[in-house]
Amino acid sequence: MLKMTVGQIHQSLSGYYDVKTQSKVYRTRARGNFRKKNQTPLVGDWVEFKVSDQTEGYILKIMKRKNRLVRPPVANVDFAIIVTAAKEPDFSTNLLDRQLVMLEKNLIRPILYFSKIDLLNSAELSKLKIIAAAYKPYYNCILSLDPKPEEFLGTVENQLGVVMGQTGAGKSTLLNRLKPGLDLKTGEISKALSRGKHTTRKTSLFSLLNNLIADTPGFSSFELADITKEKLGSFFPEFRDRSMECRFRSCLHLNEPGCAVKEAVEKSLILKSRYLNYMQFQKEISAQKPKYRK
């Protein structure tokens, strides 16, 4: 007789899902009707599944999610550690801000970690510190060659987090440092492309200071999705703080007169790169073709 039970997906690899219950881990597969519904189980999902023997089963239902990320593919996320390389691959405020916007949209708390600062000369390091200082009032920013788990998690417990970032930024290196013995593979950087070689092929959870952390594949690009031009500004906390002072309530902070955000940029109270990225995101959103539900 098949037994129905509930658990959380802790690993996804090649169509198999390792689901953990209070007592053990089962290797499962998803029923075919998920494909018909255009649904995919994700690491972090709570699911109902039937046990077919002592170690295997198949997923019948995905429980309601509080959020869902596409890159990395994880559900029910509380916080995210964004690993941003200071060098190799080249530092990009554009990619960093894209990730921050998507996390803000999904109500996920970002933690910024700037890796590979040892590769910077003194002038480059000073410039990076100025940039990090502009993010620090709104996000936990960490610049350290030997970061400790407490710097990222503090007293947080029983939450699910992801480590995300560009391929080659140093996600696996960071996780190996935070949890000795994890022994995740690390990759070299392609000098020609300034991109890393993909070393993480699967998505999986492991425990760290009474929390669950997802080690996920890296990426070389990051698209904004399901964001409107009217909502975009609310995902920049420093824009959100000043928008109430704009002359027009519906101000998009582009061409409108009396814009408090543009004034703050001119006074260097908002990082110029943040505003330039915002303008680019607005152009991309405006250029997107509308999606119609079938």
Annotated binding site for Zn(2+): 246, 251, 253, 259
**Residues 174, 266: Cα–Cα separation, whole Å:** 37
Tokens coding 272: 């110029």
Helices (H), 8-121: 33-36, 93-105
Paired residues of 25 in beta bridges: 20
- Per-residue burial over 163-192, b if 16 or more Cβ lie within 10 Å, else e, is bbbbbbbbbbebbbbbbeeeebebbebeee
**Residues 190, 198: Cα–Cα separation, whole Å:** 11
- Cα separation values, 147 from 1, 110, 156, 173, 179, Å: 50, 16, 17, 11, 11
First to last CA, the chain: 39
- Binding site, annotated residues: 115-118, 165-173, 246, 251, 253, 259
* 46 secondary structure, DSSP code: E
Q: What does the chain come to in residues?
A: 294
Nearest to 42 by CA among 74, 8, 7: 74
**Residues 234, 58: Cα–Cα separation, whole Å:** 41
- Binding site, annotated residues for GTP: 115-118, 165-173
